Amino acid sequence: GQSLEQPSEVTAVEGAIVQINCTYQTSGFYGLSWYQQHDGGAPTFLSYNALDGLEETGRFSSFLSRSDSYGYLLLQELQMKDSASYFCAGNTGGFKTIFGAGTRLFVKA
Amino acid sequence: DAEITQSPRHKITETGRQVTLACHQTWNHNNMFWYRQDLGHGLRLIHYSYGVQDTNKGEVSDGYSVSRSNTEDLPLTLESAASSQTSVYFCASSATGDNEQFFGPGTRLTVL
């Protein structure tokens, strides 16, 4: 089957760095996306990794290792507004996307 | 500004009724997707379309259908609503060749 596994919850302190891991098992794999979703809101796109390595966008970075079927989202200088759910999503071909169950991030003061 | 809208935002219906959820985007995107979101499952793909007259089944398509008669709209129909279809439904779109999906605000559907 196809699946993406990520931790259900992560807690971190304001100003700290947090890493959200994602491991995947898919029959076809073309890249890994990350989305953020605040309670009651719609998912919003954060990043996409098609190739191995680190992609940096401001305070957020995303990493992919195809050989390990693994990726992570790194959030730096955490702010209270970063409290949200974060989803990794695998592109399995033709922009068809399979999502993980999501990681709920709690940022504490 | 371009946007993607869904209607209704909230819907309560009874078991066995046919229900249609609307999705309209003004991005002129070719790709459109329907997901359902349930606690513990994240977003699961129901149907998707790569253009007019094109529709494809996703991982949880049983009991749902879509049609794509123009670029802007991809309505989702529940043929005979079941309590198991109580969920939050999100529509999304993306441009050809682009992995970034833009999501609508969602429709909360309750089937009694």
Question: Is B27 part of the contact surface with chain A (CB cutoff 8 Å)?
Answer: no
Statement: residue A94 has pLDDT above 80: no
Statement: residue A95 has pLDDT above 80: no
Using one digit for the tens of pLDDT, what is the confidence trace for A41-66? 999 999 999 999 999 989 999 999 99
The whole-number pLDDT of residue A71 equals: 97
DSSP B96: T
Q: Which residues of A touch B44 (CB under 8 A)?
A: 99
The whole-number pLDDT of residue B97 equals: 82
B39: Cβ–Cβ under 8 A, 6 or more apart, which residues? none
Out of A41, A48, A98, the one facing B100 most closely (by C-beta) is A48
A56: Cβ–Cβ under 8 A, 6 or more apart, which residues? none
Using one digit for the tens of pLDDT, what is the confidence trace for B56-79? 999 899 999 999 999 999 999 999
The whole-number pLDDT of residue B2 equals: 84
Question: Is B87 part of the contact surface with chain A (CB cutoff 8 Å)?
Answer: no
In this complex, do B99 and A48 lie within 8 Å of one another by their Cβ atoms? Answer: yes
Statement: residue A102 has pLDDT above 90: yes
Q: Which residues of A touch B56 (CB under 8 A)?
A: 96
Cα separation, A4 vs A88, in Å, equals 7
Using one digit for the tens of pLDDT, what is the confidence trace for B34-48? 999 998 778 999 999
Q: Hey, which residues does B94 pair with through a beta bridge?
A: B31
The whole-number pLDDT of residue B82 equals: 98
Alpha-carbon separation of residue B72 from A86, B28, B34, B51, B107 (angstroms) = 28, 6, 14, 10, 18
Q: What is the mean pLDDT of residues A7-12?
A: 97
Using one digit for the tens of pLDDT, what is the confidence trace for A69-83? 999 999 999 999 999
Q: Hey, which residues does B36 pair with through a beta bridge?
A: B44, B89
Round the average pLDDT of chain A to a whole number and report it: 94
Q: What pLDDT band is residue A19 in, cutting at 50, 70 and 90?
A: very high
List residues of A whose CB lies inside 8 A of any B CB. Answer: 2, 31, 33, 41-45, 48, 50, 87, 89, 91, 94-102
In this complex, do B103 and A91 lie within 8 Å of one another by their Cβ atoms? Answer: no
Alpha-carbon separation of residue B63 from A41, B11, B88 (angstroms) = 26, 17, 16
Q: Which residues of B touch A99 (CB under 8 A)?
A: 35, 42-45
